Structure 1
Amino acid sequence: MPLHLETPLIESLPLGLASGRSIFLKMDALQPPGSFKIRGVGAACEHHARAGKRRFVSSSGGNAGMAVAYAGRMLSIPVFVFVPETTTERAKGLIRQQGADVIVHGTAWDEANAAALASLDADTAFIHPFDDPLLWTGHATMIDEVARSGLAFDAVVLSVGGGGLFAGVAEGLARNGLGHVPILAVETEGTASLAASMDAGSLTELPSVSGIATSLAARKVSERAFELSQTRPVESVVVSDTDAAQACIRFLDDHRVLVEPACGAALAVAYAHADRLARFERILMIVCGGATTTVERLQAWQEF
Structure 2
Amino acid sequence: MNILIAAPSDNFDISKIKQLINHDVNFYNDQIYYSNDLLTAKDLKIIDIVVGNDQNLVDTILAQPTSQLRWVQALSAEIDYLPLQKLRQKNILLTTLKGLHAEPIAETILGMILSNYRALNFAVQNQKWQKPQHVSKMIKNKKVVIFGTGNIGSRTAQLLQVFTDQIIGINHNGHPATNFSQTFSTDTSTKIASTADIIINTMPLTSITKNFFNAKFFNQLKQQPLFISVGRGPSTNTQDLITALKQHQLSGAALDVTDPEPLPNDNPLWAMGNVLITPHISGIYSEYTEEAIHLFSKNLQQFKKNGTVLINQADLNKGY
Q: TM-score range by the shorter chain?
A: 0.3 to 0.5
Higher relative contact order (CA 8 A, sep 6+): 1
TM-score (norm 2): 0.32
When Rg is computed on C-alpha atoms for both structures, the one with the higher figure is 2
Q: Which structure is higher in helix share?
A: 1
TM-score (norm 1): 0.34
